[in-house]
Amino acid sequence: MPLTPQQIATLNAAADRIIPPDDESPGAVASGAAARLLAMLDGDLSVMQRDYAAFLTQLDLEAQVAFGAPFAELDAERQDALLSTFQPSAFFRLFAEHVHEHFWSSKAGMRLVGFEVRG
Amino acid sequence: MSEPKRYDVVIVGAGAGGGVAANVLTAAGKRVLLLERGRWLTFAETGRDHLRNQRMSLYGHNAGPSADHPRVVEAPNGQTRVVLPWQDGYQANAAAVGGGTPVYGGQAWRFHPKDFRMATTYGVPEGSSLADWPISYDDLAPYYEAVEHALGVCGDAGAMTHLPPYRRDYPMPPLPLTRPGAIHRRGAAALGWPTLPVPLAINSMPFDGRPACIRCQHCVGFMCPVDAKNGAHNTFITRAIASGKCDLVTDAMVERVLMRDGHATGVSYFDANDHRAVVEAEVVVLAAGAVETARLLLHSGFTNDNIGRNLQGHVYVGAVGLFEEEVYDGLGPGVTTATTRWSHDNDGVIGGGMLADDFIVLPAIFWKRYLPPGAPRWGLAAKHWMRDHYRRCSEIKGPIQDIPSPNARVTLDPSVKDRWGIPVARLSGTTHPESIRTAQFLHAKAVEWLKASGAIEVWGEPPQAPFLSGGQHQAGTCRMGDDPRTSVVDPQCRVHGTDNLYIADGSVHVTNGGFNPFLTIMALAYRTAEGIAQRW
Ligand SMILES: Cc1cc2nc3c(=O)[nH]c(=O)nc-3n(C[C@H](O)[C@H](O)[C@H](O)COP(=O)(O)OP(=O)(O)OC[C@H]3O[C@@H](n4cnc5c(N)ncnc54)[C@H](O)[C@@H]3O)c2cc1C
Ligand code: SF4
């Protein structure tokens, strides 16, 4: 089953805390990394779609319990606080890796570290 | 089925060894058929996907084999799992016209004279199948030279002081030094370790009608944007075809060697439309790579117990150094400087290996494989860590000479078959534990070198336990020897008990040297093909 709009919003918000935007460079969403991860959940990573859905729903549930709002609507500080409680979970680490893979292979990620493609 | 076609020689696999054999045999006037399960690759098609390439295949790769070629991996506890070519444990090399060479790094090393004499030099550790080659460095030297000049290798023969003097220098000088290369040369000099420019199958100047390297950032794992990297595909194979005497069939999956009374009559294969075809030939040459050549022999009914044993590649060691200043200069291919100081004669360990700086490491690969323990893994801290460290890091790494084990093995899986109905290769066993001791020794040398070069922090651990090594450097499964009880092919690389079946790929290596293997594979294929041309 494809992710629901709310799950997608949660994924985007969480990805932007894995690689936050700052003055200097875009984060996971603006770099296109989150979109590529979403596309992969319909492709190479489709076997993980269900685990992703469960993780994102859980994240939202915890957000509601702790702060009374869905994850995507929390401020960055609260989002980070919630994500920190997920840090020991293997799935959180996997999610973070997926975001990193797509960010460091994006134009923005390469530019940030000074990997310049010449030729 | 139509009347089978007849050739003088049919070669299975258009890789490093098969490509050289095709060129040498057509030059000698033979009519050759080259059968390759992969295809011609183009730069446009193989692309520059940082997550799907032959250097990091997280979600697939760019140069084959396809999902039609699964294998089975058997864990030490006997549990098995089916793996796809880009998954852990598969021991993949590329599958295309040129085999691994269109996307390789092109490090063009000759083996060390002692690499051919491992048992005599070190004795045979318990449980290992360490042995001498039946031929020596001197037997192979003229063929190394022939390949260096026919393929196009840049380097400095005068700096190869660990080898007997070359008769001819390389056809091209080394590429200019990079910033990290210069730093590592100073570091080695401070330690008193001699260094040398890494010989590369890359044009440091225009060569053979193709241009010089433009120092791009995507060398190893990718095709060259200007065709300045020399592999079997753009040299030996194009020449064989240009001779008018070689037919190349791609998408051709060879099923069996057809045998009658110790005589190979030809092979059967499935074409691009999955139709089975038979070709007849005077001589059959297998060059399908170490795993697939063993699989083919086993599926063709060969029963020599040595077939498929002694699978070996290289246990790699490496360490990352962090420098005060930026060391990255973005000049590809990146590998420039090696030491062979620790290839042999090391106290308390068997053999050793070459150490060198590395190809340019893509940011995504750096993130996946080069982070120090304790580096932040998410948030602004992680993002800024990469920003502040990527260009200040440099690696030293190298292949140690595997100490072979007869239990590291290719067999036919009893139940899993590919889509043509051929039993897939099952991989089991591990390298001998002595390989790990040598790896730990060489790792300490990599750390020492980085520190001498000025690294303020060094990280990266050596392997702790034996594992199965094969992969891109796979070799050894049909080893050469005089005695059919302990080997698969004779010193001419002809399969024992046959009169016209030869092997011309990494399978025949008795040991795999403490160096990247392709030049040795090509030199041996050259020698084997010359022998075939003389005899048949
Ligand atoms: C990314 C990368 C980097 C590398 N860098 C280096 C380097 O710097 N230096 C170095 O020395 N080596 C390097 N290598 C390794 C090098 O490419 C291999 O050692 C070499 O290609 C092996 O030669 P081979 O002839 O044994 O087999 P291959 O070159 O693997 O050729 C075998 C061919 O047979 C085909 N085949 C297999 N089974 C069948 C069948 N049943 N029917 C038809 N065709 C079949 C395969 O598709 C393949 O094309 C690298 C490899 C890769 C992938
Ligand atoms: S570094 Fe040079 S040889 Fe390698 S791919 Fe780039 S341009 Fe080609």
**How far, in Å, from the CA of B376 to the mean position of ligand 2?**
33
Amino acid in position B102:
P
User: How far apart are alpha carbons B199 and B519 in whole angstroms?
Assistant: 10
Beta-carbon contacts of residue B241 (< 8 Å; ≥ 6 apart): B248
Asked if A118 lies within 8 A of B386 by C-beta distance, the reply is: no
Taking every pair of C-alpha atoms in chain B, what is the biggest distance, in angstroms? Answer: 70
Report pLDDT digits (tens) over B327-369.
999 999 999 999 999 999 999 999 999 999 999 999 999 999 9
> Token pair for residue A81?
């606080």
pLDDT per position as a tens digit, B272-299? 999 999 999 999 999 999 999 999 999 9
pLDDT for position B153 = 99
List the single best residue of B52, B383, B384, B387 to mutate versus A (max A Cβ within 10 A): B383
Radius of gyration of chain A measured on its C-alpha atoms: 14
**Could you tell me where the DSSP H helices lie in A1-119?**
5-18, 33-40, 49-67, 76-86, 90-104, 107-113
A110–B226 CB contact, under 8 Å:
no
Average pLDDT, chain B: 97
Residues of A in contact with B49 (CB under 8 A): 105
3-state helix, strand, coil in chain B (%, to 5): 25, 20, 55
Q: How many CA atoms lie within 13 A of B81 on its CB side?
A: 10
What are the tens digits of pLDDT across the range B432-491?
999 999 999 999 999 999 999 999 999 999 999 999 999 999 999 999 999 999 999 999
pLDDT the model gives residue B2: 57
> If you measure CA to CA, which chain B residue comes closest to A26?
B383
Binned at pLDDT 50, 70 and 90, residue B3 comes out as low
Chain A residues whose CB is inside 8 A of the B216 CB are 117-119
**SS3 of B317-359:** EEEEEECCCCCCCCCCCCCCEEECCCCCCCCCCCCCECEEECC
Question: Which percentage of chain B shows pLDDT scores above 90?
Answer: 99
Pick the closest to residue B130 from B310, B306, B294, B291 (CA basis).
B310
d(CA B286, CA B479): 13
Calpha distance B409→B309 (Å, rounded): 4
Say whether pLDDT at B13 is over 70: yes
Residue B125 backbone phi and psi in degrees, to 5: -65, 150
The structure tokens listed for B362 are 């893509």
Are A104 and B50 a contacting pair at CB < 8 A?
yes
Nearest in space to B77 (alpha carbons), one of B430, B433, B425: B430
Q: Which ligand is nearest to the CA of B65?
A: 1
Residue range B418-429: mean pLDDT, rounded: 98
Question: Which of B474, B308, B336 lies closest to B394, judged by CA?
Answer: B336
Q: Tell me yes or no: is domain B1-45+93-153+230-313+405-424+474-536 CATH 3.10.20.340.
A: no
**Rounded distance, CA B117 to CA B132, Å?**
5
Residues in chain A with CB shorter than 8 Å from the CB of B366 are: 104, 113
Q: B260: how many CB neighbours lie within 10 A of its CB?
A: 8
In B, which residues are within 8 Å of A25 by CB distance? Answer: 383
Backbone angles phi, psi at A83, to 5 degrees: -60, -35
Taking the CA of B223 as reference, the closest ligand is 2
pLDDT at B311 over 70: yes
Q: How far apart are CA B92 and CA B110, in angstroms?
A: 23
ipTM, interface predicted TM-score of the complex: 0.98
CA distance B203 to chain A (A): 15
For the stretch B355-412, pLDDT in tens is 999 999 999 999 999 999 999 999 999 999 999 999 999 999 999 999 999 999 999 9
Extended strands (E) in B118-197: 196-197
Distance, CA of B152 to CA of B146 (rounded, Å):
10
Residue nearest to atom 6 of ligand 2 (CA): B216
**Residue nearest to ligand 1 atom 41, measured at CA:** B254
Put simply, the answer to whether A115 touches B368 (Cβ < 8 Å) is no
Record: contact B363-A17, CB cut-off 8 A = no
Paired tokens of B356 = 């060198």
Task: Give the nearest partner residue to B387 out of A93, A105, A112, using CB atoms.
Answer: A112
Mutation site for B-interface testing, chosen from A105, A107, A111 by largest number of B Cβ within 10 Å? A105
**pLDDT level of residue A119 (50, 70, 90 thresholds):** confident
- In 3D, which of B390, B391, B396 has the Cα closest to residue B336? B396
Compute the distance between CA of residue B343 and CA of residue B513 in angstroms, rounded to an integer: 9
User: Which three-class secondary structure state does DSSP give residue B298?
Assistant: helix
Residue type, B512: N
What is this structure's pTM?
0.98
- pLDDT digits over B103-137, tens only? 999 999 999 999 999 999 999 999 999 999 999 99
How large is the average pLDDT for residues A62-84? 98
Residue ranges of chain A whose CB lies within 8 Å of a chain B CB: 17-20, 22, 24-25, 27, 40, 44-45, 80, 83, 93, 96-97, 99-102, 104-105, 109-110, 112-119
Q: How confident is the model at residue B503 (pLDDT cuts 50, 70, 90)?
A: very high
The nearest CA of chain B is from the CA of A68 a distance in Å of 24
Q: Confirm or reject: Cβ of B316 under 6 Å from ligand 1.
A: no
